[in-house]
Structure 1
Amino acid sequence: MERMTDEARAVIAALDGPAMLARTCEWAGINSGTRNLAGLARMAAVLADAFAVLPGETRLMEPAPVDTVGADGEVTALEHGRHLYLAVRPDAPVQMLFTGHMDTVYSADHPFQTVTHRSDGTVNGPGVADMKGGLCVLLAAIEAIERGPDAARLGYSVVINSDEETGSLSSSVLLAEAARGKVAALTYEPALPDGTLAGARGGTGNFAIVVRGRAAHAGRNPEEGRNAIVAAAAIAVRLAAARGDGLSVNPARIDGGGPNNVVPDLAVLRVNFRPRDPAAIARAETTVRDAIASIGSEHDVHIALHGSFNRPPKPMDAGSERLFATVAEAGGALGLPIAWRATGGVCDGNNIAAAGVPVVDTMGVRGGAIHSAEEFLIADSLVERAALSILTIRRIIARGHA
């Protein structure tokens, strides 16, 4: 482990750890599940007030339209919360993007709503790691940069969306626009408890396949029916058989059916794909297209496909490797070993990388058990990770690139 530099000590000394922890706990006390629009509105207002200390205009952006397929096979509009957007010094020579999300996976009626301080120095609570703590790290880091002598050289955009946990469908265009022209991006998903960062990521695609058959009496004239459940199950089996060679396929749910004496005329199959690379996406698309065509013909049913590959795979390319090296260098100044590894999870880092911008997407707190009632953050990592961001950003400003 490297010895901490004087610069690192000064950065850490200027950070207010207790205040950061208090703010994290306050924000975690606001339920902002993706579908809790009232809670998201409250969270967005709190964040807008907090980020207003930065120069530039903080705006709450309307979500882009998103459709959803119900269990009845009908397509309807799906409401989302607004997204926070801030642009500072767009004409500065070095331009960066900072992103996070205000939504959590915990609904307003979820039993996990309380923040608890544990004797081992961890804090248990909804969203403390993913990512209310990360948002506090982000704000503290940018505030420190704004107090520094080289702030005028840095321009940046901040995007905090309200729908990351469900795929960023209403914020993906905003993220792509904000990424344009940036030399690097930092996203504040949590690191692992030991500080390991996420490197390469696979992609993801979510689809709803609506199968419409024909109802008939299951005893009197079943041959006149066209069983949508059987056809949907056949598609599920066909798609599941395509897994392998960089592609994971999970047929997750079939909605439909009714009384035992009626041939079901509707089924909705939900499927998740996890492609490792663009070739796996192409193979998945071909498999889906072929399955729909052949099974639709074989079972004499009508099939409609809804969905997309909304998060492309994120490889470790040369730009990413340079940015990770910069983060590792900043970690060395803090006496922190910085390691990373590939992961099957996805986040907004996938979308940012697809826009051609190098990104490290786990610059948030150290924590774990996310998406469960055991979610925790390591309290000391608030200051530690804010310092890591500050030193990383300063190096990028000095070099003019990642």
Structure 2
Amino acid sequence: MSALTSEERDLIEPIERPPILQRTLDWAAVNSGTANLEGLADMAARLADAFSVLPGEVRLVEPARVEKVDAEGKPRAVSHGRHLVLSVRPEAGRRVILTGHMDTVYARDHPFQTCDWIDDNTLHGPGTADMKGGLSLMLAGLAAYESGNPTLGYDVMINSDEETGSLSSAPLIAELAHGKLAALTYEPALPGGIMARSRPGSGNYAAVVTGKSAHAGRNPEEGRNAVVAASDLAMRLAAGRRDGLSVNPARIEGGAPNNTVPDLAILHFNIRPRAPDLAELAARMIDSAIAEISTRHDVQIHLHGGVSRPPKPVDAKTEALFGLVSKAAADLGQHMTWQDTGGVCDGNNIAACGVPVIDTMGACGGAIHSPDEFLLVDSLEARARLTALVMHRLERERS
């Protein structure tokens, strides 16, 4: 750490692992699956209490309205938890945004609910890496930063629906990202501590296919088979895959008894375009496929959904931010590289606002979104120190 100034060494010296780890264990014990509103309310209250040690106002923001197509092909409102926002020095001329999420992929009735130790440095538990460890170390880093008479302003946004696409928090993310000089998002690092570089966009869709029912034996020719049409649409969409654009038909719902031509089917599919022009190409491809299948099978198709995570390319401002973060990591003795990834996160939404973002500032670990999820606990204080140093250097960058 010889490259650190005495001021920087004093800033990070108080950061220790035990309190960061204890918060992580406490928070991981709360099931906060995206649909568990009671658990999310518990987590929001705990987070509000913990982050209140920082200066500024903590508030809980109501989720925006979100609809989802149900098994009958009808849009229904989906409930979400409230989102936490902390605003520090809102009057400051230079401000950043730090984001994370309180929800996990583990439902209230999922069997993976408790933590245990694999070895002295490896904690196995739900949401430990993704991202309750990240939230805890973010708080530790900000608390250390606040000890040094800071002037940089910032907002912290912790949403309740990131794991399902941030549909109820997207307007809030856009509002808070506006005008920020940089963003830090606390998704876990990739295996080996690698940081995520560019990300594709992501869009989730439901195509509701309405046909015409008829007796399967007596007069099937008078029916219009919605399941067959949905299957044909799935094949047509899958054929649109190309370099930089993945298309995944994921599920078909609907159907009818075996003796009836089914008049309803719902095709759910996902697209992941690597660049904005590929997102536009995908939109044209979807429209063309729907028109073709509608005519071929004499059915009606109504499309719901869209691209909720725009592609996240890397521009010069993002390269510069990574340079600052990687230099800080090197000065702390933390080797850092970055690479493109196929996953998406709130970093996509922030980048779409023109704000440079590093979106894997969280803990190191692995096997996220599975019952094997684990956290490397020595990354907790390391990444907290990185947060404090990056905030300090962002402040000094133009001072």
- Structure 1 residues 317, 393: closer, same or farther in 2, change over 3 A? same
Runs of 4+ in 1 over 6 A off after TM superposition: none
Counterparts of residues 6-17 of structure 1 (less than 5 Å): 7=6, 9-17=9-17
Give the Å deviation of 1:6. 5.8
Aligned to 2:384, the other structure's residue is in SS state helix
Residue of structure 1 equivalent to 2:308: 310
1:91-110 Cα deviation digits (max 9, x unpaired)? 21320000000000000000
Aligned Cα root-mean-square deviation (Å): 1.3
1:34-90 Cα deviation digits (max 9, x unpaired)? 000110011001101111111111100000000000111011100000000111111
Residue of structure 1 equivalent to 2:52: 52
Aligned 8 A contact 1:93 1:400 in 2: no
Match status 1:123 vs 2:120: no
Residue of structure 2 equivalent to 1:268: 266
Give the Å deviation of 1:10. 3.8
Residue of structure 1 equivalent to 2:375: 377
Give the Å deviation of 1:5. 3.5
Counterparts of residues 194-273 of structure 1 (less than 5 Å): 194-273=192-271
Instruction: Among all aligned residue pairs of Structure 1 and Structure 2, give the percentage whose two residues are the same amino acid.
Output: 59
Counterparts of residues 178-193 of structure 1 (less than 5 Å): 178-193=176-191
Aligned 8 A contact 1:229 1:257 in 2: yes
Residue of structure 1 equivalent to 2:358: 360
User: C-alpha distance in 2, partners of 1:378/1:305?
Assistant: 43
Aligned 8 A contact 1:226 1:300 in 2: yes
Aligned 8 A contact 1:12 1:384 in 2: no
Letter in 1 for 2:155: S
1:85-140 Cα deviation digits (max 9, x unpaired)? 11111121320000000000000000000111232411010000000000001111
Residue of structure 2 equivalent to 1:90: 90
Aligned 8 A contact 2:11 2:147 in 1: no
Give the Å deviation of 1:259. 1.2
User: C-alpha distance in 2, partners of 1:160/1:269?
Assistant: 32
User: C-alpha distance in 2, partners of 1:231/1:400?
Assistant: 59
The range that moved more, 307-316 or 292-301, is 292-301
The range that moved more, 392-401 or 74-83, is 392-401
Match status 1:332 vs 2:341: no
Give the Å deviation of 1:366. 0.7
Aligned 8 A contact 2:211 2:262 in 1: yes
Letter in 1 for 2:194: T
Aligned residue pairs: how many? 398
TM-score (norm 2): 0.98
The range that moved more, 312-321 or 9-18, is 9-18
User: C-alpha distance in 1, partners of 2:131/2:118?
Assistant: 19
Match status 1:319 vs 2:317: yes
Q: What stretches of structure 1 of length at least 5 have no aligned partner?
A: none
Q: What stretches of structure 2 of length at least 5 have no aligned partner?
A: none
Aligned 8 A contact 2:203 2:271 in 1: yes
Letter in 2 for 1:13: E
Letter in 2 for 1:82: R
Letter in 2 for 1:22: Q
Q: 1:176 aligns with which of 155, 166, 174?
A: 174
- Structure 1 residues 107, 249: closer, same or farther in 2, change over 3 A? same
Aligned 8 A contact 2:12 2:388 in 1: no
Match status 1:292 vs 2:290: yes
Residue of structure 2 equivalent to 1:106: 106
Aligned to 1:344, the other structure's residue is in SS state coil
1:4-25 Cα deviation digits (max 9, x unpaired)? 6465654443012111101101
Residue of structure 1 equivalent to 2:39: 39
TM-score (norm 1): 0.97
Aligned 8 A contact 2:12 2:389 in 1: no
Letter in 1 for 2:99: T
User: C-alpha distance in 2, partners of 1:313/1:375?
Assistant: 27
1:254-303 Cα deviation digits (max 9, x unpaired)? 00112111000000000000100011111111111011112111211111
Aligned 8 A contact 1:3 1:335 in 2: no
Aligned 8 A contact 2:11 2:145 in 1: no
Aligned to 2:283, the other structure's residue is in SS state helix
The range that moved more, 372-381 or 6-15, is 6-15
Aligned to 1:118, the other structure's residue is in SS state strand
Aligned to 2:218, the other structure's residue is in SS state coil
User: C-alpha distance in 2, partners of 1:192/1:76?
Assistant: 36
1:169-197 Cα deviation digits (max 9, x unpaired)? 00000000000111000000001242110
User: C-alpha distance in 2, partners of 1:57/1:72?
Assistant: 43
Aligned 8 A contact 2:12 2:144 in 1: no
